Structure 1
Amino acid sequence: MALLRVRSSLLVAVALAAASARLLPAQAGPDPETRALQQALDGWYAQASRSARGDWAIAIASQDGQLLWSHEATRPMIPASTVKIFTTGFARSVLGGDARRRTRVIGTGRIDSTSGTWVGTWSLELNGDVTLERPTRGGPSLADLAQQLRADGIRRLVGPLNVISQSGPAGASYPDAWSKHHRGRLFAPLIGSLTLNENVLSFAVAPGSRPGAPPRLVAESPLGVSELVTIKAKTVLGRSSRLRYQLTAGNRYVVMGTIGTRARTRGFSSTVQDPRAILEASWSYSLRQAGVDWQRASGLRAPSPATTTTVLAEVISEPFDSIASEVNRRSLNIGAELLLRWAGGDDRPADRLTAHVQQITGEYNSVHLVDGSGLSHDDRASPQAFISYLAKFPLSPGGHGYPMLLPANGTGTLRKLARGLPGPGVVRAKTGTLGDAATLTGYLGRQNGVLLISLMYNGPAVYAARQQQWKLFRLLGAEGVMIPDDSMGVSTQFGGDSRDTLPDKP
C-alpha cells in the first residue's frame, strides 16, 4: 500500500477524528472513514520510520482479520515476547482454562503409630508449577505439603531427598534455543519440572546493631535458603554499603564486604544454579516449621514390605487462565516455557507450537518458533500471522474469551499506556523486547468495533521504536472503549508486578 505523506498537523487531526467511526470493509474503494484512517497511519509511519531506522513490518485489521493498513505484513520478523500470545493460546487449547498443576509427596510404606515415622520410601513430585513456593507472589507452598504430612500423623521422615516428576526424574536446565549471553540473568533462569520460586533466589541483608557486628539476614525467598547463606561481611560506621556475594563450592552464598550502620537494607537476587540444593534447603525448613523431623543422611531408609504408592500430601496451582494471565502480564519467560512443555511435552514442544499457529492462521511460510517465550533470536513470525491468530483463535474451541488473558493498558508491560487512553481495558496486548527488536501486538477497543494491531520493529533503535508504538496506540485509542470480556470470567491474577518486597526471615 502506497504511503501518503501528511503535510500538516491539521490534516492529521481531521483524519483521526474521522477514523473514530467504525471501519468498514472496502468495496469498490476505501470508504471515507477507512481512507481517513489510512492517511493518519501513513503520517504516523512516515514519522516512525524516520525516528527508528531499521526494519518495520505492520498489519492493522478489523476484528474479522481484514487488513485495513499494512507495511511488509507477511515479512517474517523477530517477534520477541509476543511469542507468548501463541504459547498461551496453544497451551490453553490443549489443557483448557481450568487445568491445574499438582505438586505431591508420594510414598510406599506405612506410618509407625508409635513414633510417627514414615516406614518406607518417599519422594517429592514436582511437575513444573511456576507458582510453587513464591512467598512474595502467592501460590502453593512446600509448607502446605509439610503441614499435611503432620496433620496425617507423620512426625518423622528418613532418607535423602528424592525428586521426581510424573514423567520421570525431575530436573531443570538452560534451553538450547536461548543465547548463552542471557545465562545467569533474572529473565533467563533454568527451565524444567524442578522449579520453585521461579528458579530465582533472593535475600536481603541489614547492618548489625553496632560497628564490628555481623550484618543480619532479614529476608529470604524461597523460605529456608538462609541455610545456604554465610555472612562474612562487617558492619561499619556510616551510610555506605559495599556488600557483594559469591557462590562457592557446596552451593554456599557467601556475603562479603561492609555495610554502614545507617545504610539501607541491601537486597540480592540471582538465578539458581542448582535447583535441587535450593529445594532441599526450603523443604527442610518447611518440615521443621511443621514439626516433622527429617533425618536425611544418605543411605538411610526405613524398610517396609508395602508395594502400593500412596499420595501423602498434595497442593495444586491456580487455574491455567490465572497463570497464563500472569505470564503475559509480567512477560515471564520461565512461565511461558513451562506452559509450553506442559501442553507440548518435553520432546520438541516448539514444533507443536509452530504447527498450531500455522494451522490456526494458514500462514505456513512466515512462522517458525523454537521456544515458547520469544527469548530466542531464531523465532520468526509475521504481522499477518499475528493478526490472523488474534482474529481466528478466539473463535476456536479453546479460544473463548482469550483476549482477556492479555494484559490491559496500564498494567504489567503495558504500564506506559496508563495515560493517553480513556481508561484501562481499552487495549489488550503484548509487548516484546530484545536488544534489536521492539514489538507490540493486540486488540484495541473502539466505539464501533475492535482493531487488531501488530507492530514489529527489528533494528538498533529499540527505544525510539517503542515510543512510536505507544504513540500509535494512543492515537487510535483516543476515543476507545473497554474491550468486552466476552462473558468469560478470568479471575484477578494473584501476585504483583514487582519483586520489591521479600518475606521477613522468621
Structure 2
Amino acid sequence: MTNAFLSSVARRALARRASRPASLLSSLSSSFTSSITSSSNESQQPNRFHRSNTLARTAVALLTCTALVFAAPAEARKKARHPAVNVTTVLPAPVMRGLEKAHVPLTSMSVVVEKIGDRTPILALNAGKPMMPASTMKLVTTYSGLSILGPDYRWRTNAYADGTVDEHGVLHGNLYIQGTGDPKLVPEELIDLVDKIHKAGITGIDGALVLDKRFFDPSTRDLPPFDDDATAPYNVGPDPLLYAFKSLTFTLTPSPDGTVAIDVLPTLSQLQIDNELHATRGACVGAESAVTPTVTPEASGTVAALFSGDYPVRCGMRSINLAVLDHSQFFAGGFLALWQQTGGTFNGTTREGPVPADARLVAVHQGPVLSDIVRDINKFSNNVMARNLFLTIGAVKEKPPATPEKSANTIRSFLNANGLPMPELALQNGSGLSRDEHISALSLADLLQHANASPVAQVFVESLPVAGVDGTMRNRLKSAPVLGNAHIKTGTLRDVRAIAGYVAGADGQSYVVVSIINDPHAEAAREAHDALLEWIYQGAR
C-alpha cells in the first residue's frame, strides 16, 4: 500500500490548524445556495449550515479521524476480480440483527466489502445482482464527469445582443441569454452576468429577452415528476438555463405584535406575495399549513403566493422550499429581478429562441469548476444538478443537443475503455431518482476502486459525505467510533436504502464498501448499514 494522500478529514484537520478561525467561519457562512442545495429526496429540509453545530461536529471528528490509505494506480490494478464473488458470505452479527429487526431478508440485500487495491472481497452477498441504487448512482455520473470533462471544466452562460445601443445605454433590439446547463446558476452567480452586461454599456432593453436553450434536446424538458409531490425541489428536471434549482425558499418570522414577516429567495420580477398571516399565542400547532402558500399564475403575468391563517409565535422562524413555474418563466423572472435591482430597465417581452448568427457577444459568465459542482452533488445528493451534469457529458462529447442516450453511451464507452464493463448498468438520468436505473454492488465497488487510483481521486473522495460530519451523513454515527472516518454516498428512495464509499479502519487499513437494500422494509434497515460501517472500521472481522 502507498500513502498517496490523507483522507479529506485528516487534510482538513491539518489545514485548519494552520488557518485563522475567521477563514473557517467564512467558509460556513449562510447563503441562498446552502439553504436550497438539499433539493434531494434524501433531505427535503433546507441545509442551512448551522455554524455552531457544524463546528462542534467537525471538531469532534478531527479528534477521532483516521487517515484513508490509497493505493497507487499500478498497484490497484494488479489483482483481477476474484471469480467467486457471488458466493454468499455470512454477514456480521450486528448487521444481521439490524436486518432481522427491520424484517429485511438476505435476498433483498447486496453487499461488497474490499480492501483498497485488492479486488478479492472480504464480504460479498448477492454482489452481481442488479439493484436500484437510488442516489448512489450519482457516483457513476460524478466520477465519469470528473474523468471525461476534467475537474476544472466550467459551464458558460452567454449574453448576446442585436440592434443598437443609444447614448443612454438602451438596447434597441433583443438581449439573448444562451445556456449550456450550468447546474449552479444561483443568484450570486447570475448577478455576475448581469453586471457584465451593464459594463458592456447596456442599461436598458426595449426589445425582447430571448432564451436560447438548444444545448439540451427539448425531449429532456417538462418531464413528469418522480412522485406526486410536483412542488418538491428534488423533482425539478434538467434545463440549459437552470436557475436556482427552479425553487423558491420562503422564510416566515413571527413577531409578538401579531405580524409575520415573509422573505423569499431568489426574487422573481413577476412574484407577488399576499401576506394574510396572523401571529398568534399558544402552542405551536398548525404551522405546516400556514407556512405553505398557494401559488397561482395570474392572467396579467404575475404569480401570486398567498399565505393565510394563524401562525403561532412559538413556532419561531420556519422555511419551506417549493418548485414553481416552468424553467423559462423562472429564469426570466430571476434575471429581470436582478436586472431591475441593479438599475436596468426592461419594456419588452420574454420568449425562447436561437441566437441569430449576426448577434454580437456582450458578456460571458463562467460557472464554478466541476470539482465544486461534484462536491455539492454528492454531499447534498442534489438530483437536478446531477441530471444537468449527466446531460452535459453527452452534449460535450457527442455535440449538442444533449439527450439521455448520448450521455449514457458516452459514460458506457468511458467505463468500458477503463476496464469497467457493467453489463447490468441501466442509466436513465444519472441521479438515481428513478425506478429504471440499475447497477450491481460489484460494479459500484469496481468503480470506487478505479476512482481511488485515478488522477481525480482526491476531488472525488472529498466530495463524499463524511460520517457524522456533513452532507447526508451529518446526522448518522455521530457518537460512534467511525465518526469522521467514512466517506459515504447515501441513497434513499421508497423501498431503497444504499451506501457506497470508503472507510478508514482503526488499524490503518482502508476499505471500499457498497451495500444496497431493495425491499419494502428498506427504510427500517439503516441500523444494519450503520452496523456494517462500524464493523468495517473495527477491522472487518
Q: TM-score, normalised by structure 2?
A: 0.71
The answer to whether structure 1 residue 61 and structure 2 residue 114 are counterparts is yes
1:200 to 243, 247, 252: 247
Name the residue aligned to 2:201: 153
Name the residue aligned to 1:418: 478
The whole-number CA distance in structure 2 between the counterparts of 1:101 and 1:39 is 46
Name the residue aligned to 2:53: none
Name the residue aligned to 2:278: 235
1:454 to 514, 524, 541: 514
Name the residue aligned to 1:436: 495
Higher helix proportion, which one?
A: 2
Change (3 A) 1:401 1:193: closer
Change (3 A) 1:411 1:288: same
2:523 to 444, 454, 463: 463
Change (3 A) 1:198 1:307: closer
The answer to whether structure 1 residue 46 and structure 2 residue 111 are counterparts is no
Change (3 A) 1:58 1:422: closer
CA drift at 1:228: 1.3
Name the residue aligned to 2:210: 162
Q: TM-score, normalised by structure 1?
A: 0.75
The whole-number CA distance in structure 2 between the counterparts of 1:295 and 1:169 is 30
Name the residue aligned to 1:273: 325
CA drift at 1:423: 5.2
The answer to whether structure 1 residue 188 and structure 2 residue 235 are counterparts is yes
The whole-number CA distance in structure 2 between the counterparts of 1:365 and 1:172 is 25
2:426 to 337, 360, 368: 368
The whole-number CA distance in structure 2 between the counterparts of 1:404 and 1:230 is 40
CA drift at 1:387: 1.0
Change (3 A) 1:311 1:448: same
CA drift at 1:151: 2.7
The whole-number CA distance in structure 2 between the counterparts of 1:209 and 1:45 is 50
Answer whether contact 2:136 2:490 (CA < 8 A) is retained: yes
Answer whether contact 2:96 2:528 (CA < 8 A) is retained: no
The answer to whether structure 1 residue 115 and structure 2 residue 159 are counterparts is no
Change (3 A) 1:118 1:108: same
User: Could you say what secondary structure the match of 1:417 adopts?
Assistant: coil
Name the residue aligned to 2:464: 406
Name the residue aligned to 2:149: 95
Change (3 A) 1:168 1:381: closer
Answer whether contact 1:358 1:367 (CA < 8 A) is retained: no
Change (3 A) 1:166 1:97: farther
Answer whether contact 1:171 1:194 (CA < 8 A) is retained: no
Name the residue aligned to 1:221: 265
Report the residue type matching 2:122 in the other structure.
L
RMSD: 3.5
The whole-number CA distance in structure 2 between the counterparts of 1:422 and 1:307 is 58
Please identify, of 400-409 and 75-84, the stretch whose mean Cα deviation from structure 2 is larger: 400-409
Answer whether contact 1:73 1:384 (CA < 8 A) is retained: yes
CA drift at 1:162: 0.8
The answer to whether structure 1 residue 257 and structure 2 residue 304 are counterparts is no
The whole-number CA distance in structure 2 between the counterparts of 1:445 and 1:271 is 39
Please identify, of 350-359 and 466-475, the stretch whose mean Cα deviation from structure 2 is larger: 350-359
Please identify, of 471-480 and 448-457, the stretch whose mean Cα deviation from structure 2 is larger: 471-480
Answer whether contact 2:179 2:215 (CA < 8 A) is retained: no
CA drift at 1:101: 1.1
Give structure 2 stretches of 5+ with no counterpart: 1-69, 71-75, 80-87, 396-401
Change (3 A) 1:204 1:44: closer
The answer to whether structure 1 residue 140 and structure 2 residue 199 are counterparts is no
Answer whether contact 2:243 2:334 (CA < 8 A) is retained: no
Alignment of 1:344-383 (within 5 A): 344-345=394-395, 346-347=402-403, 348=405, 349-357=407-415, 360=418, 362-383=420-441
What percentage of aligned pairs have identical amino acids? Answer: 20
Answer whether contact 1:80 1:375 (CA < 8 A) is retained: yes
Q: Deviations over 1:204-255 (max 9, x none)?
A: 34558966x8x543x2111235x41231525365457563522223362331
Work out which of the two has the higher radius of gyration on C-alpha atoms and give 1 or 2: 1
CA drift at 1:85: 0.5
CA drift at 1:319: 0.8
CA drift at 1:287: 1.6
Change (3 A) 1:344 1:43: same
Name the residue aligned to 1:489: none
1:73 to 127, 133, 142: 127
CA drift at 1:131: 1.3
The whole-number CA distance in structure 1 between the counterparts of 2:368 and 2:340 is 26
User: Could you say what secondary structure the match of 2:189 adopts?
Assistant: coil
Alignment of 1:295-310 (within 5 A): 295-297=347-349, 308-310=358-360
Report the residue type matching 2:266 in the other structure.
P
